[in-house]
Chains A and B, each alone.
Chain A
């Protein structure tokens, strides 16, 4: 096993652990108070209405249109609809950038399938399935490289020239765009050198089998791989993982309008939270440095004058 393979495994391990930890961190945070924002697709009211529009809503069975959530979210993720509607000048560059990434990930998945069947001797020259995977790798990856490069370049220019963005853009943001841009560009050059992705597939196969890399790899291919390995390990530590907020902020915040109807799970969480100690220091809170719980301070009215008539 070579140095590159070890680096790739390590990078994958860092990604899985760091990204998993991030998901776990948010998934295990306390249930917050409701903070929904309308329209909520599962309410099924295209004008943005909610169950609060119905008299005695708590007596009625709630109907949640879960498919409506997908009808909203799929175009949002694939086509970045919010940016298309509300920030078109940025969308012209952000869309190809993201679509380029999605296509490259698709290409990588098909490269993996091709590498997997290759373990069993199925190669594009002798297997229709392997040939299909090879074609799909090309169909996804090559447009991905092109769109990604256009998007990254466009975003760099946009962030350099648009006065709305220059003040909020830091050196690290340019570094991230350049990093991904180089990944796309070198990937494209690798494809020019190896249009069938044979070397890449062989490398992937070596990763799947923990075996040696049999095909020689060009210098640019090594560079492309190192850029990828570095990015894979770096990515979970950056705000570029905004798919995390896209999931939690919509599904668990903006669309979380489940009313409290005495559900046992919700009740036990609320009881647990009300027992948390409070250490807020302002005088009116009267937390006594953590001696009091949320239940204590919320049920105390420091100003109540029992004799008031």
Chain B
């Protein structure tokens, strides 16, 4: 399908059929997939869905031709702003280079898990949405753009269908940037998706509801994207202390708002709600290693997430600057980011050039600090307590986009018996996204969860299954270590949808939980496999 066809007047451009999907390995090689749930008639009437029958944005349909026209103009205006230094100094240079220089070689296509696993649907090629934007820019914003537009390859119609499909299409890429890592001329189609999302949000107010209204807005309003208020955090921390006592027999005080501490530790607040064992494990480890740290209960300071990273520079900057301000007010020497991949990149890399150097504060990955704790010998580990097969998921943001590859591996090798840890293939900086990147893990509108299950999460599921081939007996318990909240959420959803634990014995957890489980001082097993505790989840 040519990118120009995006403006075609048709009910639905593409249909995802289960028989087209790339196959999964044993024991799912004969698995009967559940297709994408079609939207209900009233949903179809309300929401744009003409790209692939999926609505991730619940984007309302314009009610009048005048409204359509206004939206088309707003889109063009946004595209113009995207190409000015005043409005987009943050990404102007890589954006303009990526718009100008695609060599149309399609090398990126095979690197994209969404394209591959969808059964090679053209609309999911990394170049497809980028080409649509390139063509619109050339035809409508460059001088003489309409002259010989067909021959020059950018004769695209700009209508509401084009824009509505493009908005949805901006949310069919996880921004993992595998495509950029193989491009022979350096073009970054992932970046173009990022910029497209920015255009929609910053000019037209269009974004995934879970990452904007229920995400960054909630974060700035209540203090956390989970909706958890400042007042609630202290209570939750107290519950965690009780739970730690129950699990370890030791009362540990989790320091809050401690002025002058060495470290401000910031977790993804989703951990407090979905996986409290994770912040508890951090507390146990830091206490045992004698680390001088604090958590913050200040607005925004107790949630490391920064959803603006995926769709809006302004929302991004607002949250990042709050994180830095809180750390400076506490007088800590560094911020350590918990097990949250995108928070790693947001605060360490992207926020690095938001303020003059003197106003910045050092940021460090928890993976690095945890490895330092292991190497210091301050905590004794008994690898035989972790005597089960384990594999490691590499969160794109921390690994390919930050180069933190070895620390988490060194930790696993120190806390597992030899031969128990095996890599997925490929891994490290060549890893595949969990399928929940760029906000997908928390996006659940319309029938988008079905798309994630069948398309974006499929490659990771295949990788996980491949890592344990030959040991698929469910009685052999196996673990995926996923040191990132969003990745964990996505992997949890995939494992549950496909009943992977029941069929194969594969479950998931973070890195610190595995560390505490291997601590010599930890008398009872810290890990709970499904069915062992009160809850299904650990």
Footprint of B on A, CB under 8 Å? 26, 29-40, 43, 45, 47-58, 76, 80, 82-83, 85-87, 90, 94, 164-165, 167-173, 175, 239, 241-242, 244-246, 248-250, 252-254, 257, 259-263, 266-267, 270-271, 273, 276-285, 294, 297-305, 308-309
A267 touching B357 by the CB < 8 A rule? yes
Select the stretch in B19-27, B29-37, B87-95, B159-167 that faces chain A: B87-95
- What is the bound-complex CA distance between A83 and B368, given in angstroms? 34
Q: Which secondary structure characterizes the binding site on chain B?
A: helix
A245 touching B101 by the CB < 8 A rule? yes
- Contacts between chains A and B (CB distance < 8 A), count: 289
Given contacts A249-B97, A260-B357, A53 and B428 within 8 Å (CB-CB) = no
- What is the bound-complex CA distance between A53 and B405, given in angstroms? 7
B182 touching A82 by the CB < 8 A rule? yes
Smallest beta-carbon distance B132→chain A, Å: 12
Smallest beta-carbon distance A106→chain B, Å: 21
- What is the bound-complex CA distance between A167 and B4, given in angstroms? 10
Q: What chain A residues lie within 8 Å of B538 (beta carbons)?
A: none
B406 touching A53 by the CB < 8 A rule? yes
- What is the bound-complex CA distance between A302 and B322, given in angstroms? 13
- What is the bound-complex CA distance between A252 and B81, given in angstroms? 22
B322 touching A301 by the CB < 8 A rule? yes
Partner of A253, one of B94, B131, B401: B94
Smallest beta-carbon distance B487→chain A, Å: 18
* Closest Cβ neighbor of B5 among chain A residues: A167
Q: What chain A residues lie within 8 Å of B183 (beta carbons)?
A: 82
- What is the bound-complex CA distance between A29 and B409, given in angstroms? 39
B315 touching A83 by the CB < 8 A rule? no
* Closest Cβ neighbor of B373 among chain A residues: A55
A285 touching B357 by the CB < 8 A rule? no
- What is the bound-complex CA distance between A170 and B156, given in angstroms? 13
Instruction: Mark B228-240 against chain A: 1 for CB-CB distance below 8 A, else 0.
Output: 0111000000000
Q: What chain A residues lie within 8 Å of B202 (beta carbons)?
A: 280-282, 285
A301 touching B318 by the CB < 8 A rule? yes
Query: Given A175-B151, A284-B315, 15 other A-B contacts at CB below 8 A?
Result: A32-B91, A34-B350, A35-B191, A35-B349, A82-B183, A173-B153, A239-B101, A245-B97, A245-B187, A248-B93, A249-B188, A267-B358, A276-B86, A276-B87, A301-B322
A280 touching B87 by the CB < 8 A rule? yes
Given contacts A38-B400, A260-B353, A281-B203, A173 and B91 within 8 Å (CB-CB) = no
11 A-B pairs, CB-CB below 8 angstroms?
A33-B91, A82-B182, A242-B101, A249-B188, A263-B357, A278-B86, A280-B203, A281-B77, A284-B314, A298-B321, A300-B318
Footprint of A on B, CB under 8 Å? 1-3, 74, 77-78, 81, 85-87, 89-94, 96-98, 100-107, 109-111, 122, 127, 131, 150-154, 177, 180-188, 191, 201-205, 212, 217, 220-223, 229-231, 299, 314-315, 317-318, 321-322, 334, 348-358, 360, 362, 364-365, 368-369, 372, 399-407, 428-429
Partner of B186, one of A165, A173, A254, A271: A254
Q: What chain A residues lie within 8 Å of B150 (beta carbons)?
A: 170-171
- What is the bound-complex CA distance between A168 and B355, given in angstroms? 41
A282 touching B94 by the CB < 8 A rule? no
* Closest Cβ neighbor of A293 among chain B residues: B86
Q: What chain B residues lie within 8 Å of A300 (beta carbons)?
A: 318
